[in-house]
Amino acid sequence: MKRRDFFRSTAFIGLASIFSTDKIKAIASSEMALATTPDMVAVMGGEPDEMLDQAIKELGGIKQFVKKGQKVVIKPNIGWDRVPELAGNTNPKLIKKLTELCLDAGAKEVLVFDHTCDNWQKAYKNSGIQDAVEAAGGKMVPGNDQSMYREHDFPQGKRLKKALVHQAILDCDVWFNVPVLKNHGGSKMTISMKNLMGIVWDRQYFHANDLHQCIADSCTIDKKPALNIVDAYRIVKTNGPQGRSASDVALLKTLLVSPDFVAVDTAAVKFFNQVQPQKLEDVKYIFNGQDMKIGTANLDAINIKRIKI
């Protein structure tokens, strides 16, 4: 797709606005930049599975991340007993496709879990994720019992020095972080960095010890996700993180993918701001993460590939 056609699309105005004019010109004038693997892929206009296909292709294909015989974990947001239309959880079509891609790449097994807020069995089932994963050949594992977690050190953390981390993360070969983009009362936004609260047992520690700093600290984990895949097909724009009704949901048909926690969350907040006002500076964990060199909030410094389906 030609760049001039890309920016003629009014549907992409919000997404394009997260990148500066100078950056767009720099990319357009550099054939070398176009030939390199992007640091982030932003896809808009398709269904969750086809957008993921496009993003993974731009990043070199799933075999860049998953090798034959590996044990893979997918960590969506499945915190709430909500149907997919209410966007409280990651879209099941996205998780199904990612499970299929991993197995097609030769993964030995694909495990999917979350430490849910609502009853885990209801959340797994009513989110549609359990059925989607099982249909794709993956396996759901619970996260509701402390015995499933092991103590893990976070030596680079400022407030979070150790935590009980789910054994699925500690024992896997590779994992994918797949949050849904949502408003949040406490942290302002829940995206890829905050989604790591679902891999630890004691989330109350975060809330009692500087939530934003603990979120950033959790992202210093030595086994980082291969990719952060932000589901913005449907988002919760108000009354997050659960949402109360369909009026809290916006249909945006967008996917943001990057190995960089900070960059993808920065892009997601700027994109969200086109629908519902949200100051980037209020999402403090993003800048805490940048200060700790977890990633960059400077989107002009990275190569971003934008695709419209």
Q: Give the pLDDT confidence of 224-233 residue by residue, as tens digits.
A: 999 999 999 9
The model's confidence at residue 15, banded by pLDDT at 50, 70 and 90, is low
> Higher confidence at residue 86 or residue 13?
86
pLDDT of 36? 87
pLDDT of 222? 97
> pTM of the entire structure?
0.90
DSSP the chain: --HHHHHH-GGGHHHHTTS-HHHHHHHHT-HHHHHSPPSEEEEESS-HHHHHHHHHHHTT-GGGT--TT-EEEEEE---S---GGGTSS--HHHHHHHHHHHHHTT-SEEEE----SS-HHHHHHHTSHHHHHHHHT-EE-----GGGEEEEE-TT-SS--EEEEEHHHHH-SEEEEE-EEEEETTTEEESTTGGGGGGBS-THHHHHS-HHHHHHHHTT-SS--SEEEEEEEEEE-SSTTT-SSGGGEEEEEEEEEES-HHHHHHHHHHHHTTTS---GGG-HHHHHHHHTTS----GGGS-EEEEE-
73-91 average pLDDT score? 98
pLDDT in tens, 133-154: 999 999 999 999 999 999 999 9
Of 11-25, 155-169, 175-189, 240-254, which gets the smallest average pLDDT? 11-25
pLDDT of 57? 98
pLDDT of 6? 40
91-111 average pLDDT score? 98
The model's confidence at residue 35, banded by pLDDT at 50, 70 and 90, is low
State the chain's mean pLDDT as an integer: 91
Whether 24 shows a pLDDT value over 80: the answer reads no
